[in-house]
Amino acid sequence: MRILLNTLYVTTPEAYLSKDGLNVVISVKQNEIFRIPIHNIEQIITFGYMGASPGLMKLCADNNVSLTFLSPQGRYISRSQGPTRGNVLLRKAQYKNSDEPNYALHLSKLFIGGKIQNYRNILRRFIRDNGDDEAIERVCEELLRCKRRVLNAESIDSVRGIEGEAATAYFGVLNNVEFTGGSAENYDVFEGRNRRPPKNAINAMLSFVYTLICNDMTSALETVGLDPYVGFMHTLRPGRASLSLDMMEELRAYLGDRLVLSLINRKQITIIWSCIEL
């Protein structure tokens, strides 16, 4: 059984990571500020450009701890991972099944069916806690129809199309669901999901959290010996962790959306506006 341990987030841009025996040491301007035994963590995510020592990279590889580098703004740079583990026969079966249209369709329907159901669960929870809302009730019914259509879809393209309809309906009422009472007065009105680039703070945070979930999923897949780049629903492209994107679909709402919106509603995160003179 895989043991789930802690993730170490290093958010200080000037931090440098090194090793001391079996400990991860974090230093800022050559002054040690934190250390932790390597066996107490599962992965390290660092935001900054100072980097890590080769000794620490080897320590992480030897202990199956992934080391991910992000820019101070949260943009993905690279990831260091030890040898791929698991059964080669498992990966061989994965490659074979990825080319089987019926098998890929079956898994795709499960991924997206679970995602739509979780969309609906979040809306139903709001109704349970706050009373009936006609607009949200309509979306819940639409999501239920979308889930049934997905489970009866005859092609992956149809699954993708229904997924898009469900996401549009869900994000269309998310602002009313989470921001009732004006708790997000410092944020732009959330009028729907957008990306590449995100057009407001909420979408930027959603994209950032989705990146973290994808990184966690990639590490988990590599730990059990699966290839995170060979998926079933997302198109295969160089550098794209397609299986990670497939597996995280039903986790986006619960782990991503609820985290971001809870941080906003509890006022645990605020926007800092800055002006740049050109």
Cβ-Cβ contacts under 8 Å for 275 (sequence gap 6 or more)? none
- What pLDDT score does 191 carry? 64
**pTM of the prediction?**
0.71
Nearest to 203 by CA among 181, 183, 176, 175: 175
In this structure, what token pair is assigned to residue 136?
A: 């949200």
Instruction: Report d(CA 210, CA 255) in Å as an integer.
Output: 9
Instruction: Report d(CA 227, CA 223) in Å as an integer.
Output: 10
Q: How confident is the model over 5-35, as pLDDT tens digits? A: 688 888 888 889 999 889 999 998 888 889 8
Q: How confident is the model over 109-149, as pLDDT tens digits? A: 999 999 999 998 888 888 887 777 788 888 889 999 999 99
